[in-house]
Amino acid sequence: MVDIDINWITDSFGSMTPVLPMVLVIIGALLMPGIHLLFKRKDVTCAVSLAFVVLAAVFNILLLLGHYNGTYYDLFTYDAFSGLMILLFQVVAFIAILIAGPSSETTKLHVGAFYSLMLIATAGMAFVATASDLLLIFVGVEMVSIPSYAMVAMKKKDPRASEAAVKYVIIGGLSSGLTIYGISMLFGLTGTTNIADIAAALATQGYTAGLVIALATMIAGYGFKIAAAPFHMWAPDVYEGAATPVSLFLATGSKKMGLVVYIKVFFVMFVTIQAAQPFMTESIQYVFAILAAITMTVGNILAIVQGNVKRMLAYSSIAQAGYMLMAIAIMSEWAMTGTIYYMFAHVFMKGGAFVVVAALITAGVGENLKDYRGLAKRAPLLSAVMLLCVFSLAGIPPLAGFTAKFFLFSAAIVPGLGEPVSAQWVWLAFVAILNSAISLYYYAKIVKAMYIEKGESEEKIKVPVAFTIAAVLCVLGVIAMGVFPEPFLYYCSQAAAAIMP
């Protein structure tokens, strides 16, 4: 589409170019406590960390537009896929930092440390997106997890936050333990931690008891990270307990990172060996298909009974993770395109919903469904944003969620375009579509509370302008991805093509 000359970047940074987006953010993270001590102003700290994210994003976008491909010591690979994923994490970080500034929930935190942690986590997610080695992925995931535990725990006045943090740390630690166990078994079986080399080794091996255990522990370990059922129990408590900007960051960012890991490890590995080991690939496909089906169903059904909007959004995130897992079950390029598209759409729609929740909490409105009654009169713009975001989450056209579901679910019916209809995954499409229908019920409850029921108060709600900016950005994303999908689809298909072996 657009071609940009990026020689000046590659000339100046040389072999460091692939890690540029991370390095810039890490520099920011290291500077942040100092900047806070120097200026003692929360808004300055927020603005500076925002500036670092934007700077990194600008470089990243340039690299993406320049179709840059490069590796750094065979450990980090920058291609269309990692570039796009880094961009996604940067968008998440941008929105989260933007609203963390004025949010009443984060002003009592250790500001310098908070932004520093946020940036480190952003860098960690970018790490995962570029890494091509299991150990590096593990390090990247921990780089995200540990700051996340701290950020959840920071809101220490709220007992819910302390409980959430404890849960999060224990379950996170358990999942890390499981994962590293799996990785070490894989290393023992294949003698390498490089994903491509592992795939090459597995192509000649077939199933052994050790491999089954290794795969199972890794699926479970990373399953915790994305809150796939049945490893999802921590998510609602953590999202509810954490400050809303942090919940936003976790739900839209770190969950995507888990998916990226799944894609990098399982998708890439098993697509590679599909020809050599058809049975192995197919069994993994079914594992993920069942995981996806259970995750979306559990998430949606439990979301129905929630009275707290943050919890409801947490369960809906679980369900949405289920949709996105479909690509690993279907294992085709088109499905991957759909999932990448979905990941972006999810950032905007779920992000927008959390922005509204955060704005309302800052304005003194509660986070329960009954507090949302009559909001349409009190905060017309925020209500409209929420309306569009939840309709998009439910998959109502012409919004991003619909287009994304359209691309993704179509992949379950035809694995690749131009290929015949395949009966193999049609049941999965049915489950997914049925789930979309169920989800409409609880999304409609939010809309109903805001637009149809009468509230006790008629007073207008005032929120800081940063919330309005973030909310409008998200809605623009939701509408643009719904109405003009073509440019987005182009980059998503580029990214999907990049990870296909």
Partner 1 sequence: MFDEIFAEIPILMLLLVIPLIGAVATLFMGGERQKYAKYVAGAFSGVTLVLVILLMFVDNMALLSENYLWIDAANIRISFILEIDGLSLLMVLLTALLVFLVVVFSASESDRPNYFHTLIMIMELGLMGVYLSADYFLFYIMWEVTLIPMYFMISWYGGPRRHYSAIKFFIYTHVASLVMLIGIFAIVFQAAAINPGVIADFSFAAVNAASGSFGEVFQVLVFGLLFFGFAVKMPAVPFHTWLPDAHVEAPTGGSVLLAGVMLKMGSYGIIRVALNALPDGAIWWAEIILVVALISIVYGAYACIAQTDLKKMVAYSSINHMGMVMLGIAASLLYVKYAASPDPVIAQIGIEFAIFQMFAHGLVTAVLFMVCGFTGHALGTREIPLLGGLAGKLPAFATFMMIGFMASLGLPGLVGFWGEFGVIFSFYVAAEAMGQIWLIVFCLLSIMLNAGFYIWAMQRTLFGRETTKVDLSHVHDVSKAEGFALAVLCIVIALFGIWPDFALGYIETFVANFAMPGV
**Is 72 a binder of partner 1 (CB under 8 A)?**
no
Instruction: Answer for the pair 90, 118: CB distance below 8 angstroms, yes or no.
Output: no
* CB of 132 or CB of 493, closer to partner 1: 493
Nearer to partner 1, 39 or 430 (CB): 430
DSSP 8-state assignment for residue 460: P
Element (H, E) at 441: helix 426-447
User: What's the per-residue H, E or C state across 95-111?
Assistant: HHHHHHCCCCCCCCCCH
Work out how close the CB of 497 gets to partner 1 at its nearest, in angstroms, rounded to a whole number.
9
Of 207, 286, 427, 490, which lies in the binding site for partner 1, with binding defined by CB under 8 A? 490
458 binds partner 1 (CB under 8 A): no
418 contributes a contact to partner 1 by CB under 8 A: yes
Contact status: 420 vs partner 1 (CB under 8 A):
yes
Q: How far is CA 406 from CA 299, 326, 413, in A?
A: 20, 13, 11
Cβ–Cβ < 8 Å for 101, 466: yes
207 is a contact residue toward partner 1 (CB under 8 A): no
Look at residue 419 and give its three-state secondary structure: coil
**What is the closest distance, in whole angstroms, from the C-beta atom of residue 259 to partner 1 in the complex?**
22
Please give the Cα distance from 183 to 193 (Å, whole number): 8
Give the count of residues interacting with partner 1 (CB under 8 A).
36
| Window 348-367: residues binding partner 1 (CB under 8 A) | none
227 in Cβ contact with 290 (< 8 Å): no
Residue 451 binds partner 1 (CB under 8 A):
yes
Query: Among the candidate windows 246-254, 294-302, 316-324, 431-439, which touches partner 1 by CB under 8 A?
Result: 431-439
Q: Spell 423-462 as b/e; 16+ CB within 10 A means b.
A: eebeebbebbeebbebbbebbebbbebbbeeebeeeeebe
Residue 103 vs 493, nearer CB to partner 1: 493
User: Looking at 22-30, 50-58, 174-182, 486-494, which segment touches partner 1 (CB under 8 A)?
Assistant: 486-494
Q: What is the SS3 string spanning 332-389? A: CHHHHHHHHHHHHHHHHHHHHHHHHHHHHHHCCCCCEHHHHCCHHHHCHHHHHHHHHH
User: Does 3 engage in binding with partner 1 (CB under 8 A)?
Assistant: no
- The span of 55-63, 72-80, 232-240, 436-444 binding partner 1 (CB under 8 A) equals 436-444
Query: Which residues contact residue 219 at a Cβ distance below 8 angstroms, ignoring those fewer than 6 apart?
Result: 266, 287, 291
225/405 with CB nearer partner 1:
405
Using CB under 8 A, list all residues that contact partner 1: 334, 391, 395-398, 402, 406-407, 409-410, 413-414, 417-421, 429-430, 433-434, 436-437, 440-441, 444, 448, 451-452, 484-486, 489-490, 493
